[in-house]
Amino acid sequence: MQETTISPRIVEIRQNVLKKNDLLARDLRKRFQETGVYVVNLVSSPGAGKTTLLTELLSRLGKRHKAAALVGDLATENDAERLRQSGAKVRQIITGTVCHLEADMIERTLEGWDLNEIDFLFIENVGNLVCPASYDLGENQRVVLFSVTEGEDKPVKYPTIVNSADLAIITKIDLAEAVEFQRERFYEALNDVRSGIPVLEVSVRTGEGIDEWITRLEADREAFEKATGSL
Amino acid sequence: MHELSIAHSLVELAVEAAENSGIRRVQALYMKLGVLSGVVKEALEFSFDVVIEGTPLEGARLVIEDVPVKIFCPNCREARVLPEPFPMRCPLCGTKTGQVIEGREMELYALEGGEEDAGDDN
Ligand SMILES: [Zn+2]
The residue type found at A14 is R
Angle between helices B3-20 and A19-35 (to 10 degrees): 100
pTM of the full structure: 0.90
C-alpha–C-alpha distance, residues B32 and A173, integer Å: 40
Q: What is the pLDDT of residues B48-62, one digit of tens each?
A: 999 999 999 999 999
* Domain parsing of chain A, residue ranges: 10-226
SS3 A4: coil
CB within 8 Å of chain A, chain B residues 11-30: 12-14, 17, 21, 23-25, 27, 30
Of A70, A99, A196, residue with least CA distance to B38:
A99
Q: Which residue has the higher pLDDT, B119 or B92?
A: B92
Cis ω for the linkage preceding B87 (within 30 of 0): yes
Question: Taking Cα atoms as reference points, which of B66, B73, B50, B58 lies closest to residue B1?
Answer: B50
In the stretch 72-111 of chain A, residues with CB closer than 8 A to chain B read: 98-100, 102
Looking at the complex, report in whole angstroms how far the Cα of residue B119 sits from the nearest Cα belonging to chain A: 7
CA of A165 to the centre of ligand 1 (A): 23
Question: What is the CATH code of the structural domain delimited by B3-113?
Answer: 3.30.2320.80
CA-nearest of A137, A169, A157 to A49 is A169
Please, which pLDDT band fits residue B122 given cuts at 50, 70 and 90? Answer: very low
B112 pLDDT more than 50: yes
3-state secondary structure of A207: coil
Rg of the Cα trace of chain A? Answer: 20
CB contact under 8 A, B13 and A160: no
Q: What is the 3-state secondary structure (H, E, C) of chain B?
A: CCHHHHHHHHHHHHHHHHHHCCCCEEEEEEEEEECCCCCCHHHHHHHHHHHCCCCCCCCCEEEEEEECCEEEECCCCEEEECCCCCCCECCCCCCECCCEEECCCEEEEEEEEEEECCCCCC
Structure letter (DSSP) for residue A151: -
List the one residue out of A85, A39, A51 whose CA is nearest residue A217: A39
Domain spans, chain B: 3-113
Q: Are A125 and A104 in contact (CB under 8 A)?
A: no
A60-105 residue pLDDT tens: 999 999 999 999 988 777 889 999 999 999 999 988 878 899 999 9
State the ipTM, two decimals: 0.85
Q: How far is CA A28 from CA A36, A106, A121, A122, A202, in A?
A: 12, 9, 12, 14, 30
* Cβ <8 Å between B114 and A163: no
In this prediction, residue A230 has a pLDDT band, given cuts at 50, 70 and 90, of low
- The CATH number assigned to the domain with range A10-226 reads 3.40.50.300
